[in-house]
Copies of this chain bind each other. A is one copy, B any other.
Amino acid sequence: MAKLILHKLCKDYGTGKPAVNDVSLKIRDGGFLALLGPSGCGKTTVLRMIAGFETPSDGSILLGERVLSDASGAVPPERRNMAMVFQSYALWPHMTVAANVGYPLKVRGVSGERYREKVGEALRSVRLEQYAERRPADLSGGQRQRVALARSLVTDPDVVLLDEPLANLDRHLRQEMEETFREFHARSGATMVYVTHDQAEAMALATDIAVMSEGRLLQVAAPAEIYARPEGRLVGSLIGQGAVLSIPASGDDNRELDWQRLAALMTQGRAGGGTIDILVRPQDVLLGSEGLNATIETALYEGERYALRLRLDDGQVLRAHGRQPAMRGDRVKVVLSKAWRL
Q: How far is the CA of A139 from the CA of B43 in the complex (A)?
A: 12
Cα-based distance from A140 to B142 in the complex (angstroms): 20
Identify which of A94-102, A112-120, A264-272, A298-306 touches chain B.
A298-306
Residues in B whose Cβ lies below 8 Å from that of A146: 39
Is B283 in contact with A143, judged by CB distance below 8 angstroms? no
The chain B residue sitting closest to A173, CB to CB, is B39
Q: Does A80 contact B (CB under 8 A)?
A: no
With CB as the reference atom, state the residue of chain B lying closest to A202: B303
| A180 located at the interface, meaning its Cβ lies under 8 Å from any Cβ of chain B in the complex | no
Question: When the two chains form their complex, are residues A223 and B169 in contact, meaning their CB atoms are under 8 A apart?
Answer: no
Are the CB atoms of B140 and A44 closer together than 8 Å?
yes
Smallest CB gap from A13: residue in B: B138
- Nearest chain B CB to A230 CB, angstrom units: 10
Which residue of the partner chain B has the closest CB to A205?
Answer: B300
Q: Say which one of A3-11, A26-34, A232-240 lies at the interface with B.
A: A232-240
With A302-B203, A303-B240: A197-B171 Cβ-Cβ less than 8 Å: yes
A: number of interface residues (CB 8 Å):
55
* Those of A143-189 within 8 Å (CB) of chain B: 143, 145-146, 163-164, 167-174
Whether A142 pairs with B40 at a CB distance below 8 angstroms is yes
User: Within 8 Å of chain B (Cβ to Cβ): is A24?
Assistant: no
Q: Are B224 and A197 in contact (CB under 8 A)?
A: no
- In the complex, residue of chain B having the shortest beta-carbon distance to the beta carbon of A141: B87
Within the complex, what minimum Cβ distance (angstroms) separates A54 from chain B? 12
**CB <8 Å contact, A170 and B238:** yes
A52 at the interface (CB under 8 A from B): no
The answer, yes or no, to whether A289 is at the interface (CB within 8 Å) is no
- How far, in whole Å, are A204 and B15 apart by their CA atoms in the complex? 37
A positions within 8 Å CB-CB of B: 13, 15, 36-40, 43-45, 87-88, 134, 138-143, 145-146, 163-164, 167-174, 197-200, 203-204, 223-224, 227, 237-241, 281-283, 300-305, 307
Assuming A141-B164, A239-B303, A241-B304, what are 6 further A-B pairs, CB within 8 angstroms?
A40-B142, A141-B163, A170-B197, A172-B237, A204-B302, A281-B304
Supply 22 A–B pairs (Cβ within 8 Å), ascending by A: A13-B138, A15-B134, A38-B170, A38-B173, A39-B142, A39-B168, A39-B173, A40-B142, A43-B140, A164-B167, A164-B168, A170-B238, A171-B197, A171-B199, A172-B238, A199-B303, A200-B302, A204-B300, A204-B307, A223-B301, A224-B301, A240-B303
